[in-house]
Chains A and B, each alone.
Chain A
Amino acid sequence: TQLLEQSPQFLSIQEGENLTVYCNSSSVFSSLQWYRQEPGEGPVLLVTVVTGGEVKKLKRLTFQFGDARKDSSLHITAAQPGDTGLYLCAGGVPPGTYKYIFGTGTRLKVLA
């Protein structure tokens, strides 16, 4: 069974601080997606990375896919209260069935 473990599970920080969320597995994934979910809503896609070692930036968010395509990280610079939410990683299961395994989730709270 493929599992994606996220750490930390919970994170409460002050506005302006930096943070990193990790998504780890022993399995190889064809792609890795990061989502943010707010209460009462479905997850919203932030980014998709498909190549080992790939780095993508989205304003203050930096995403990295591990070289072996087994892990990923999300780094937020100068966090803002609007970044509060549940962050989920999702791994694409090869060989191209387009099935996704979601991680355990990281709940982030940014205090003003």
Chain B
Amino acid sequence: EAGVAQSPRYKIIEKRQSVAFWCNPISGHATLYWYQQILGQGPKLLIQFQNNGVVDDSQLPKDRFSAERLKGVDSTLKIQPAKLEDSAVYLCASRAFAARSSEQFFGPGTRLTVL
């Protein structure tokens, strides 16, 4: 079974530029999460999708971040314009079904550096 795929793996941009990240979850997984992980810290949830609907985006900085999940499969996360403090690893995760014991599977992440 293929895992969660993310691209690109690394991205370096200058502040005020735009950037987009892509995630392909495990086939059949209904729930998809985007997390932001600043170096040395735990991941922070940005947005949670159930199929193609948003369940929680309370911590997404909506003035600059946007995300969509087309047809309930792939997802993109965009930052426009980027700030220095956006430098972090952006992790995508998916899970098969809604149950307390079901596992989140994480992708390798995209490391963003904003100069």
Contact = CB atoms under 8 A, between A and B. Distances in A.
A100 B105 CA distance: 13
Residues of B in contact with A, size category:
20 to 34
Interface stretch (B12-20, B42-50, B69-77, B78-86): B42-50
Contact of A42 (B45, B48, B93, B98): B93
A36 to B, nearest CB: 11
Contact of B41 (A42, A48, A50, A104): A104
Contact of B43 (A30, A31, A99, A102): A102
Contact of B40 (A31, A33, A90, A107): A107
A50 B100 CA distance: 7
Interface string A78-112: 00000000001010100011111111110100000
A55 to B, nearest CB: 16
Interface in A34-87: 40-45, 48, 50
A98 B30 CA distance: 12
Contacts of B113: none
B91 interface: yes
B106 A105 contact: no
Nearest to B106: A42
A31 B99 CA distance: 10
Contact of B108 (A40, A48, A88, A104): A40
Contact of A98 (B31, B35, B44): B31
A88 B40 contact: no
Contacts of B25: none
Closest CB pairs A-B (n = 7): A42-B106, A102-B42, A31-B100, A105-B42, A102-B43, A45-B103, A50-B100
12 contacts: A30-B100, A40-B108, A41-B108, A42-B4, A42-B107, A43-B91, A45-B103, A88-B43, A97-B55, A98-B48, A100-B33, A105-B41
Interface of A: 4, 6, 30-31, 33, 40-45, 48, 50, 88, 90, 92, 96-105, 107
